[in-house]
């Protein structure tokens, strides 16, 4: 194991105080990232020379007595569909990558905060899937067990953070693509309110649902990355000009009210997931948190989840599909063939459904601080296996992995996934869904769970030394 600080906050503090050089921190992470590639395949691109140059500039800033930023010297990885000037953006596809001349707003903001971008992480092709088993780049593998998928589509980002080859990472979340891999890899993942973090310079999946968010090993690290990237961007038509409150201290658990949405949480899930969820509800209640059961029959996944999204995906891929159909991997090609068959009337009806879901969820949060669900219905997806068992049923892995995440994007609300301090490979995870624009409150509650020992990161077996 490395002798250097492992949390983003600790790294930034040590670098800013001149106690350790950013170059040493970044070189160490790059070395471990390279060493992990044969086992995990988390990266599509490691930016050795430029990252070390950036770290040297951070060290020079500190030596000059200037504030190097809240992320000074922190090694961060970004999903390989987010633009970084001069670096190839593949979006996980087989087509020649674009090489942007400008960075995405989120990347620019990270670098201004002192972060060092060390590389680009693997993903499900075009972010259109939940396993990160990429036909062109090979599967990303889970640090808990390399025969398992890390989830998707931001699987490389989650694997890199879990395996300690990056202090934090950026992913995108359109239906759970930050939260699902966070859950399967045992790390923290934040899905922000739609419009909170700019999408400028991010390859789209469905812009009305797309979000960019952090993955980290603890809530405090997720918070500092979130604060660095959040805020209005005039270049992004979806971006909202609203203030970005910082999280306060963790509230006492007796001051928190959590709503359990039925029948959503009663839908099929593995015994391990169901037992962990029941146990954490009991632990929270024993610690003084108020747990309220809510009857929300409109708040369940439905066919409209896809019907309301697929036409947007069709718009993004129409030209590529017409000209380069053979360049898509079989998994994504199969899904795209369905995308172009949606009836416009079904799309309109699906938008009406989305409105009902949004209203139901937002109204429910008038009665509690957050809704609470499992993060996923199944936490183990073997690589190369399309079907998994949940209870007595065997079916496609996608609806099981997205059962508690995809619906949230249709509400626009923020959600936080945290790993539970319970046995499991990977450990089980919990999802908290908060009020619109109140990421700070979700982060406060997440920190309270860590403080109470209910949540916490554990080092997986496959971590580079």
Please tell me what DSSP assigns to residue 420. Answer: B
Q: Helix, strand, coil % (nearest 5) of the chain?
A: 40, 15, 45
Q: What is the largest CA-CA distance in the chain?
A: 64
Give the Cα separation of 31 and 53 in Å (integer): 15
Burial label, 286 (beta-carbon count in 10 A; 0-12, 13-18, 19+): exposed
| Exposure b/e, 414-448, CB count within 10 A at least 16 = b | bbbbbbbbbebebbbbbbbbbbbbbbbbbbbbbbb
Spatial CB neighbours of 100, under 8 Å, sequence gap ≥ 6: 83, 84, 85, 86, 87, 89, 201
- Which residues are catalytically annotated? 79, 153, 177
d(CA 9, CA 69): 11
**CA atoms within 13 Å, Cβ hemisphere of 254:** 1
């Amino acid at each position: 194991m490395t002798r250097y600080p492992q949390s983003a906050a600790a790294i930034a503090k040590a670098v800013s105080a001149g106690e350790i050089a950013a170059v040493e921190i970044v070189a160490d992470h790059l070395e471990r990232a390279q060493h992990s590639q044969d086992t995990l395949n988390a990266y599509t691109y490691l930016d050795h020379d430029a990252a070390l140059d950036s770290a040297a500039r951070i060290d020079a800033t500190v030596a000059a007595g200037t504030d190097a930023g809240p992320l000074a010297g922190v090694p961060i990885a970004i999903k390989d569909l987010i633009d970084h000037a001069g670096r190839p953006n593949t979006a996980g596809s087989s087509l020649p990558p674009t090489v942007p001349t400008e960075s995405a707003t989120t990347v620019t903001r990270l670098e201004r905060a002192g972060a060092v971008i060390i590389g680009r992480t693997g993903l499900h092709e075009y972010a259109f899937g939940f396993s990160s088993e990429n036909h062109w780049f090979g599967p990303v593998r889970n640090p808990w067990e390399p025969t398992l998928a890390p989830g998707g589509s931001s699987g490389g980002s989650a694997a890199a953070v879990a395996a300690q080859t990056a202090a934090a990472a950026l992913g995108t979340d359109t239906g759970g693509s930050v939260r699902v891999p966070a859950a399967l890899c045992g790390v923290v993942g934040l899905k922000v309110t739609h419009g909170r973090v700019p999408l400028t310079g991010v390859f789209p999946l469905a812009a009305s649902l797309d979000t960019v968010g952090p993955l980290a090993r603890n809530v405090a690290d997720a918070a500092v990355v979130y604060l660095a990237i959040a805020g209005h961007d005039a270049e992004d038509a979806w971006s909202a000009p609203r203030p970005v409150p910082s999280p306060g201290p963790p509230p006492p658990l007796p001051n928190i009210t959590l709503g359990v949405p039925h029948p959503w949480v009663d839908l099929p899930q593995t015994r391990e997931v169901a037992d962990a969820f029941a146990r954490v509800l009991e632990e929270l209640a024993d610690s003084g948190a108020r747990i309220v059961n809510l009857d929300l029959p409109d708040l369940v996944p439905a066919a409209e989840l896809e019907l309301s999204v697929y036409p947007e995906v069709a718009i993004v891929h129409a030209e590529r599909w017409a000209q380069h159909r053979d360049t898509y991997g079989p998994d994504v090609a199969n899904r795209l063939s369905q995308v172009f068959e949606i009836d416009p009337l079904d799309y309109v009806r699906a938008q009406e459904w989305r409105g009902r879901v949004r209203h139901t969820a937002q109204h429910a949060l008038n009665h509690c601080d957050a809704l609470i669900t499992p993060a996923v219905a199944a936490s183990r997806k073997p690589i190369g296996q399309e079907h998994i068992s949940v209870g007595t049923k065997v079916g496609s892995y996608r609806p099981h992995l997205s059962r508690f995440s995809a619906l949230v994007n249709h509400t626009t609300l923020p959600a936080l996934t945290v790993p539970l301090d319970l046995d499991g490979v990977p450990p089980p995870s919990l999802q908290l869904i908060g009020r619109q624009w109140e990421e700070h409150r979700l982060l406060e509650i997440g920190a309270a769970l860590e403080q109470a020992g209910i949540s916490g990161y554990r080092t997986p077996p496959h971590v580079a030394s």
